[in-house]
Structure 1
């Protein structure tokens, strides 16, 4: 366990980024490597399919209400995972949802209402202090969309999502590691070293 803002919690590693950039693949490999080292791992999955089954608008159809669901459900599922893991891996940490909402508005050429977004931004900003390590995947346009999940095939929206997620990370001052498609091996070493070091000594600073 580590302590952030006086809260005892496991090491939390999140990944954000536009669709089909390797988030789930990377986290599956990371979970495997950590478990090989006898680390107890819990994974918080991408909520997109769950939202779709419930009939919530996703991707370029995101609304304020669907984004609030993604943020609050994501926070809830992460907190549930805290109680039974040494390390929690989050596929789409909560800044991702805010980035997708802003991208959807830009895609539809709709104005962003700062007052309506204030709650979303407050929730994302305050919860994000609990991420110990964040990775932001890099969009490689030449890599085709995966077929295992519902994704927007619109390349303009795909780029907008990546751009707005990046803006959220920088606007909120969230430290993160870039995760290019050809950089998974390095990122795996960084994440495993980070997690194991912090489990043994939460004050450890790990150089990437």
Structure 2
């Protein structure tokens, strides 16, 4: 691996399905093997801090901001010499949230706007060396400090997996099962170590 082409591992999925925890575990393992890893994230909170709507209030504008900021974070991490970039919320994630928000509000996204956002997200897909998609398990309790709408959370999960399937995007599904989580960490670490040896 060279600093000009870091390995990129991205994750997407509805909220509170273990995305950040998974990436933290991968990061710790990689650091244990002496690899420099950078983790992106907190895009929803940063969008809200910038005055943009989030969750079920997402708009095309907030969706585009999240994708653009995520790309900027990746470029910054690469410029700073990260060997591995761990992307908390792949670009397609933002499109799924947008579609779910529109469905939640019983609105139909303008066709050209949806296509434009999908095109923007699709330009990022070839950069991901690994893509993990978390799977919603409603039996796992969520952090009670968050005011999540259960219906919206399901909509995001549905749109996420539908987008992946309809566009035949290669990815690894990760469930809440500890074995599934451990397997995902192992896949990521082995891929990074293999790339390092090439």
What is the aligned partner in structure 2 of residue 14 from structure 1?
10
Counting matched residue pairs gives 195
Specify the SS of the correspondent of 1:139.
Answer: coil
What is the aligned partner in structure 1 of residue 190 from structure 2?
193
The 1:27/1:33 distance shift into structure 2, 3 A limit, reads same
Match of 2:90 among 93, 96, 120: 93
What is the aligned partner in structure 1 of residue 22 from structure 2?
26
Match of 1:153 among 139, 148, 155: 148
CA drift at 1:49: 1.1
2:109 pairs with 1:112:
yes
CA drift at 1:152: 4.8
CA drift at 1:75: 0.9
Structure 1: unaligned runs, 5 residues or longer:
3-7, 202-208
CA drift at 1:43: 0.6
Contact in 2 for aligned 1:12/1:88 (Cα 8 Å): yes
Q: Structure 1 CA distance, aligned partners of 2:147 and 2:69?
A: 22
What is the aligned partner in structure 2 of residue 204 from structure 1?
none
Runs of 4+ in 1 over 2 A off after TM superposition: 170-173
What is the aligned partner in structure 1 of residue 167 from structure 2?
172
TM-score by length of 2: 0.93
What is the aligned partner in structure 2 of residue 140 from structure 1?
137
What is the aligned partner in structure 1 of residue 33 from structure 2?
37
Q: Structure 1 CA distance, aligned partners of 2:190 and 2:26?
A: 11
Match of 1:57 among 50, 53, 56: 53
What is the aligned partner in structure 2 of residue 81 from structure 1?
77
Q: Tell me how large the CA RMSD over aligned residues is.
A: 1.6
2:150 pairs with 1:127:
no
CA drift at 1:102: 0.4
Specify the SS of the correspondent of 1:15.
Answer: strand
Structure 2: unaligned runs, 5 residues or longer:
none
TM-score by length of 1: 0.89
